[in-house]
Structure 1
Amino acid sequence: MGSSAPTTAPSASPAPPDAAPPSPSSCPAPPDRSRPRTPPATPTTEPRHDPKTANRRAPMSSRSPVPRHPDRRRVALRDVPRPSAGGPLRPMRILVVDDQADYRDAIAHALRRQGHEVQTAGDGRRAIARGLELMPDLVIADWVLPDRVHGLLVAAALRLLWPQLSLILISAYASSDLWFEASQIGAAALLDKPFTLERMQAAVAAAGRWSEPQPRSPVAMVISEPDGTLRYANPAARLLFASTPAGAEAGRWQELLPRWRQVLRRAHREWVEVRPRHAGGRRAWQLRGRPTVGGQLHVILDGDEILHFHRRGRGYYSNELLVHLLLDLIPEGRPRWPFPGQALVVDGSALFRRLAATEIERAGGLCHTAATGEAALELIARDPDISVVLLDGSLVEEDDGELLHELRRRPGMRIVGQALDGRQASTLAARGVSRVVSKPWAIEDLLRALDDAPAPS
Structure 2
Amino acid sequence: MTEPLKFLVVDPLAGVQTFARQLLQSRGFPADSILCCADTDSGLAQGLLFKPDFLVTDWFPKAPLTGLQLFQRLKEAQPRLHLSLLSFEVTPERELEAEAHGAHFLLKKPFTAEQLKAQMTRSLEALAKDSPGLHGQVRDTMRQARPAPRVALPVIPPEPVIKPGDSVRYKGQRHVAQYVVHRTGETVVQLKGVAGLIPLRDLQPG
Q: How does 1:55-454 map to 2 (within 5 A)?
A: 92-116=5-29, 117-144=33-60, 147-208=63-124, 209-210=126-127
Shift of 1:146: 6.7
> TM-score, normalised on structure 1?
0.26
CA contact (8 A) 1:99 1:145 kept: no
Q: How does 1:44-63 map to 2 (within 5 A)?
A: none
Question: Runs of 5+ in structure 2 lacking a partner?
Answer: 132-159, 164-206
Shift of 1:383: 8.9
Shift of 1:135: 1.2
Shift of 1:141: 0.3
Q: Which has the larger radius of gyration?
A: 1
CA contact (8 A) 1:138 1:166 kept: yes
CA contact (8 A) 1:124 1:145 kept: no
CA RMSD of aligned residues (A): 2.6
Alpha-carbon distance in structure 2 between the residues aligned to 1:384 and 1:205? 31
Shift of 1:103: 1.5
SS across alignment from 1:155: helix
Shift of 1:188: 1.0
Alpha-carbon distance in structure 2 between the residues aligned to 1:110 and 1:383? 24
| Higher strand content, 1 or 2 | 2
SS across alignment from 2:119: helix
Quick one: structure 1 residues 184 and 145, their matched pair in 2 at CA, closer, same or farther if it must change by over 3 Å? closer
Quick one: structure 1 residues 123 and 383, their matched pair in 2 at CA, closer, same or farther if it must change by over 3 Å? closer
Question: Runs of 5+ in structure 1 lacking a partner?
Answer: 1-34, 38-90, 214-381, 386-457
SS across alignment from 2:95: helix
SS across alignment from 1:105: helix
Quick one: structure 1 residues 169 and 102, their matched pair in 2 at CA, closer, same or farther if it must change by over 3 Å? same
Q: Post-superposition, which runs of at least 4 consecutive aligned residues in structure 1 deviate over 4 A? A: 382-385
CA contact (8 A) 1:123 1:146 kept: no
- Report 1 or 2 for greater relative contact order, CA contacts < 8 Å, sequence distance ≥ 6: 2
CA contact (8 A) 1:139 1:167 kept: yes
CA contact (8 A) 1:166 1:207 kept: no
Shift of 1:111: 1.6
One-letter identity of the residue aligned with 2:37: A
Matched, 1:36 2:2: yes
Alpha-carbon distance in structure 2 between the residues aligned to 1:191 and 1:180? 13
Alpha-carbon distance in structure 1 between the residues aligned to 2:58 and 2:85? 6
One-letter identity of the residue aligned with 1:139: L
SS across alignment from 1:95: strand
Quick one: structure 1 residues 149 and 160, their matched pair in 2 at CA, closer, same or farther if it must change by over 3 Å? same
SS across alignment from 1:160: helix
Percent identical: 28
One-letter identity of the residue aligned with 1:156: Q
Alpha-carbon distance in structure 2 between the residues aligned to 1:147 and 1:113? 31
> TM-score, normalised on structure 2?
0.56
Alpha-carbon distance in structure 1 between the residues aligned to 2:41 and 2:13? 16
| Higher helix content, 1 or 2 | 2
Alpha-carbon distance in structure 1 between the residues aligned to 2:28 and 2:43? 21
SS across alignment from 2:77: coil
One-letter identity of the residue aligned with 2:122: A
Deviations 1:396-449 (A, max 9, x none): xxxxxxxxxxxxxxxxxxxxxxxxxxxxxxxxxxxxxxxxxxxxxxxxxxxxxx
Quick one: structure 1 residues 146 and 104, their matched pair in 2 at CA, closer, same or farther if it must change by over 3 Å? farther
